[in-house]
Amino acid sequence: MERRTYHHGDLRGALLDAAESLVRERGVDGWSLREASARVGVSPSAAYHHFASRDVLVRTLADRVLAGLGRRMANAAARADPAQRVVAAGRAYVRWAVEDPSVARLVFRGGSAEPAAAVTPHPHDVLSAELDRLAEAGVLSASARAGAEYVVWAALHGLATLLVDGLVHVDGPRALDREAERLVRTAITGLSHEPPRPVPRTGPRTRRYD
Amino acid sequence: MERRTYHHGDLRGALLDAAESLVRERGVDGWSLREASARVGVSPSAAYHHFASRDVLVRTLADRVLAGLGRRMANAAARADPAQRVVAAGRAYVRWAVEDPSVARLVFRGGSAEPAAAVTPHPHDVLSAELDRLAEAGVLSASARAGAEYVVWAALHGLATLLVDGLVHVDGPRALDREAERLVRTAITGLSHEPPRPVPRTGPRTRRYD
DNA sequence: CCGGCCATCTTAGCGGTGTTCAGAAACCGT
DNA sequence: ACGGTTTCTGAACACCGCTAAGATGGCCGG
């Protein structure tokens, strides 16, 4: 990490980058702020002019990384066969987690830097959008659609975390995709066969990765 | 923490108890081994005669706590209406997590003290048993039954972790139960409407909380 | 009853951590 | 050229996990 000037230029961004590498290499907590500073070529205390604490650094990084997941899901849905959009988004979710488990753990751990963080597009929202399509297409009734994003999200998130934490193991990307697809397919057909409810469901509230 | 003898008697157990309280009070990582030792009334280094490291202490505690969840699920299923057994077990899973989020995070984080830990009954196994009942009752075909534990488990685990990590919020225990029930009902009906597969599915492997 | 053994606990200390704070260094507008 | 401001440094504090060497006292053979 060469540095020709006394002032760094973009120390804040560089620290986030270093932290992301360290998370990837050694896990969410397997590194120190001092180490990240050293990697950037700066004294330990320099970081405190950009982040109030190590924890804020980590949570800011989590926010930054989460947006990438949302984009990946949206892209996957966009380039998929119209009948497969949700499935594609779901597959992207768990693939992302498995490809980079440490970073995924970082994000899943929750706790955002800014409460009103504008993470766009948020995974929850791309799931919601796809389910809206399904409702318009008539495969989901109004009552089944209400809160449906939470059942799909829960299923995906569950598989992703079980894999990422090593609680469950699948061998190979093919099997992984199959499992993710089965999950969202099961959820969708389950929802579509749901007995109609009198009052539209409300479901959980205040989704946030914050 | 009085102590009349120089030797403690059951320092190992006392340390696990102290650690469990500390996890409950301040989160999985919001405490130090020194603090747990002090709470038990013992010098910091005493712990190292019973646990190779702080990490081993924590993972041993996780094992101990996990068995409680399995028992709760089994009990809930046992005392439930026969048609509601899986639902009851699932409800127990997410209730348990929400009632004691820090401890749940501890368990969910994974990593066991002994790889071959005989955690009985394991949550995965009680889910499996209930799905076997459903298969016998004919609501699940053989191909739908194969690997179904992972679908249900993933859904439950996803909701539990989303709640525990504060990524979603439901207000009140009623809403919580409703959500958990919807999840497993959706999964079951989704699985029961699954198009039959030629070869019985294999599904993920090596379930373990270790 | 006693002496010694040995598991158990303690004291002291090492290297490393997050964080603070006073001051040096370089950039920037005038 | 210079003063003010931003940005980084150096030293220090309290605490951490962990180790090594020694004190303590329950226990067992005599």
Among all strands, which nt has the closest C1' to B47 (CA)? C9
b/e B135-150 (16+ beta carbons within 10 angstroms → b): beeebbbebbbbbbbb
- Structural domain count of chain A: 2
Residues 45-84 of B with CB under 7 A from strand C: 45-46, 49-50
Please tell me whether residues A91 and A153 are part of one structural domain: yes
B178 Cβ contact partners less than 8 Å away, ≥ 6 residues apart: none
Q: Which pLDDT band holds residue B134 (cuts at 50, 70, 90)?
A: very high
Residue-by-residue pLDDT tens, chain A, 210 positions: 456 676 678 999 999 999 999 999 999 999 999 999 999 999 999 999 999 999 999 999 999 999 899 999 999 999 999 999 999 999 999 999 999 999 999 999 976 666 555 677 899 999 999 999 999 999 999 999 999 999 999 999 999 999 999 889 999 999 999 999 999 999 999 999 998 877 656 667 665 554
Based on the fold, state whether residues A47 and A80 are members of the same structural domain: no
Contact call for B204 and A169, based on CB within 8 A: yes
**In-domain check, residue A160:** yes
Q: Are residues B69 and B42 in the same domain?
A: no
CB pairs under 8 A between A and B: 153
| A92 shares a domain with A41 | no
Would you state the pLDDT for residue A115? Answer: 59
For testing the chain A interface, which of B143, B161, B207 should be mutated: the one with the most A CBs within 10 Å?
B161
CATH classification of the domain holding B28: 1.10.10
Share of chain B above pLDDT 70, in %: 87
A55, amino acid identity: D
Q: Is there a single domain that holds both residue B14 and residue B108?
A: no
Q: Is residue A205 in a domain?
A: no
Say if B205 is an interface residue toward chain A (CB within 8 Å): yes
The CA angle A6-A25-A99, to the nearest 5 degrees, is 125
The verdict on residue B159 lying in a domain is: yes
Residue A201 lies in a domain: no
At residue A161, the 3 state secondary structure works out as: helix
CA B102-B107-B113 angle, to 5 degrees, is: 130
Residues A42 and A74 in one domain: no
Tell me whether residue B58 is in a domain.
no
CB crowding A122-153: b at 16 or more within 10 Å, else e: bbbbbbbbbbeebbeeebbbebbbbbbbbbbb
| Separation CA A28–CA B8 (nearest Å) | 36
Q: Is A206 a domain residue?
A: no
User: Within a 13 Å sphere around the CA of A95, how many CA atoms are in the beta-carbon half?
Assistant: 18
Prior bond of B121 cis (ω within 30°): yes
**pLDDT tens by residue, A94-144:** 999 999 999 999 999 976 666 555 677 899 999 999 999 999 999 999 999
Domain of A22, in residue numbers: 9-51
> In this structure, is residue A197 part of a structural domain?
no
Specify the amino acid at residue B181.
E
Phi and psi dihedrals of B169, rounded to 5? -135, 135
